[in-house]
Structure 1
């Protein structure tokens, strides 16, 4: 087993977390401000929760939200500089915490210098980096899912292979432990099959996670060489089955999840920076039921910051629609409201149980009893290890046993 078999991520969106202006309106709001150190003060919270990995959202210079990159080799001045990241890496590693950065390699912001150079002429060498149609005499660049301000790379270009490999290696050499590849589903798997061997030749233990929302997860992982992809299908079944009182959906998704484990360990989650909070969808008590599944099935779990406190927030499809799910957190964890303590204690107990049973990373689910509102399953390890998990949606309660001995159950003080 490697370190990736034992990692549990705490996932943070740094611009929101540190209070950086997401849509800066002036040079003053873009000025160098040392905010990354804000995260250092939360490392002990992460460790106390039981996590040992920090999965960071975008930190590179961008126009606004971080996914419209302007320079992959520069820390966004709204967050700080290289020295700030060096300090965060050192503080994390001193606590045994790994760090993964968010690599936005499907597209760049429309103001990226290389793209502006490409627009100057169809003969500009930078044109090879982007998918630009010049047939009408005017440049018509391909974009990301209709967002004109996000300009797609040309992933058939060897120059893009070189650019991305160089960026990934640069930050791995600075001390990070891996990469999350944003919008991996929009990039041909063959592209990563060219990039990743270069990365692994120097950093064989780096963990590479791809964002997959739909598609053939296992096939993409095999063809690309990724270590893991995001398990959106299970995420959807978790909240939907609890909201609609339909554990049959969850059972079906876990059957498909079992099959994925034969190829790789998916990144499992109940929340992230792009979706409505689980507690908003189903309430805090049932959110803990979702977390119970998260920590008792196979995969590499991640906890989106605030979910462990029962945070609420709605993702909206409009300007600023992500703000509610990408909140600022105070400088010191002690400043959090005590109202989140019951949910946090549930997370602490579940993560502790996960730590005591490390075989769960490859555990398959065997259903024992199933109805719309009652689901009992066994989590079964490759060596025959076994835990029983009982979920009761009507009572919003969960219980975990081993050989009839109770190991954990939901507390009575969880709010609905």
Structure 2
């Protein structure tokens, strides 16, 4: 049993510390600026830790494809035809053993700057998570920082075979890469790839389209897609060893966990092999899997993952409840679907892939996320993830460049995030300060209350069926009880909470009069605790009440 709740704060590293407000659409690094690893000072990290955060996920620190030219530093230049955006996607890795030069103040010493960041993070009481991108790499992948004796990906491939169990890539023998777009992209020479490699989103031909992950190539873990996904895992495929060594390389530097991109696109057999080897050497390292198919959840947990995204379930349902498309009762069904693995499900409301709550594509108002935050943070013992700027109501409505105006904060462009820039100089708007104070309280309740990290949960919706815009549940550990009511309605709610006899028996609560404290407001409320009794509670619009009392 975990002793404290894991709360992950995801930062998009190149954006977080950037205070340049030029924000020219499709601007260069020189025009729009870029955040650095050194922007995460002890003061900044202390502030993040003070929100109740236990882990910080530095997104996009490994060197990836970019249109910025670093060839003066011996870093291979990428052809712009196969880079999305001026800054490039952090999920198109060009060297698994290198740190992205955009993030360094002193580029030749970029790895030392990252090692210093790990040390600063640990001193601040934060564990460090980075991305591990196992399914695909940039089209022009080439490691210049691999340890001596490590062969590059594809270096020993037999490119005459579309599939070979010991190849690192899949090929289209005799065919040149001919995607839908212009291969010159303003350059004097076109991008040339022959034979064409399969594209990252399981596109096994030479002509990926606009919606394909055309800037990436698929890694081969011994699955023969040309023969219907037949696995060739004995002998161990070469890619397995190479990728496991990469995990061990970063774990040796003090990285505490890996968020594994599109984990379900890589066979579970590999994960079983790799996580076993990493955890043998580094038992405390955690693996978080981006897995979207609920039918595969238990398979990947069995293969060594500690936590999985609860996207196709809790996220989708809470989003629908926020937007008025589903009743709050649907949340009960969402947690019940994964009840046997509940401690392994990672709850979140925003990340780099999803739209911002405050965007016009989602709720249009960050305050509508408050009841969803309370439910996501306090319902179970499992981890919670917050995306930087979420705590200030960042809208994600900028038209940054390649990203376009899509309600997301760009991962492709050089940019700065308005709310984060203001927060850095303490020039919050009234609404940002209001929202931050609530996030800070809820996250710290989740981090510090024993009933949340270790306690049992009792869902009260089945005896409070008349409420469709409020979600009601209890948590208990030892003698400490929390009664939580989250109001998804934009009107005040007068809720008569029924607590059934079964809840008294299940949680071990005695009938009595108690004085409860609302952990969000500090106000006191007298409760008459009776089996099948009713407790009247007033909840503010888009608000919540978290009543703590002794059993």
The TM tier, using the shorter chain, reads 0.7 to 0.9
Contact kept, 8 Å, 2:5 with 2:452, in 1: the verdict is no
Tell me the residue number matched to 1:50. Answer: 52
Tell me the residue number matched to 1:309. Answer: 392
- Residue 95 of structure 1 pairs with residue 124 of structure 2: yes
Tell me the residue number matched to 1:349. Answer: 441
- Residue 391 of structure 1 pairs with residue 470 of structure 2: no
Tell me the residue number matched to 1:337. Answer: 428
Which region of structure 1 is more displaced relative to structure 2, 98-107 or 326-335?
326-335
Instruction: Pick the aligned partner of 1:76 from 92, 100, 113.
Output: 100
Counterpart Cα distance in 2 of 1:325 and 1:65: 13
- Residue 270 of structure 1 pairs with residue 363 of structure 2: no
Tell me the residue number matched to 2:63. Answer: 61
Tell me the residue number matched to 2:460. Answer: 367
Counterpart Cα distance in 2 of 1:187 and 1:314: 33
Instruction: Pick the aligned partner of 2:293 from 200, 214, 229.
Output: 214
Give 1:15-414 correspondences, 5 Å limit: 15-19=14-18, 35-40=36-41, 41-63=43-65, 64-80=88-104, 81-113=110-142, 114=152, 117=155, 121-122=159-160, 128-134=167-173, 139-145=195-201, 146-156=212-222, 158-216=237-295, 218-232=297-311, 233-244=313-324, 246-261=327-342, 264-280=343-359, 281-282=362-363, 283-298=365-380, 299-314=382-397, 319-321=402-404, 324-326=408-410, 327-328=416-417, 329-330=420-421, 333-339=424-430, 340-361=432-453, 363-368=456-461, 369-371=464-466, 373-380=468-475, 386-395=481-490, 405-409=516-520
Change (3 A) 1:404 1:279: farther
Counterpart Cα distance in 1 of 2:101 and 2:62: 8
Contact kept, 8 Å, 1:129 with 1:153, in 2: the verdict is yes
Structure 2 portions without partners, runs of 5+: 66-87, 105-109, 143-151, 177-193, 202-211, 223-235, 411-415, 500-508, 522-538, 544-551
Please report the RMSD computed on the Cα atoms of aligned residues, expressed in angstroms: 3.7
Counterpart Cα distance in 2 of 1:23 and 1:144: 27
Counterpart Cα distance in 1 of 2:453 and 2:300: 17
Change (3 A) 1:219 1:295: same
TM-score scaled to structure 2, two decimals? 0.66
Contact kept, 8 Å, 1:11 with 1:303, in 2: the verdict is yes
Shift in Å, 1:314: 4.8
Change (3 A) 1:366 1:2: closer
Which region of structure 1 is more displaced relative to structure 2, 117-126 or 218-227?
117-126
TM-score scaled to structure 1, two decimals? 0.85
Q: Of Structure 1 and Structure 2, which has the larger fraction of its residues in helix?
A: 1
Shift in Å, 1:380: 3.7
Counterpart Cα distance in 2 of 1:88 and 1:27: 22
Rg bigger for which structure?
A: 2
Counterpart Cα distance in 2 of 1:414 and 1:109: 43
Structure 1 portions without partners, runs of 5+: none
Contact kept, 8 Å, 1:370 with 1:376, in 2: the verdict is no
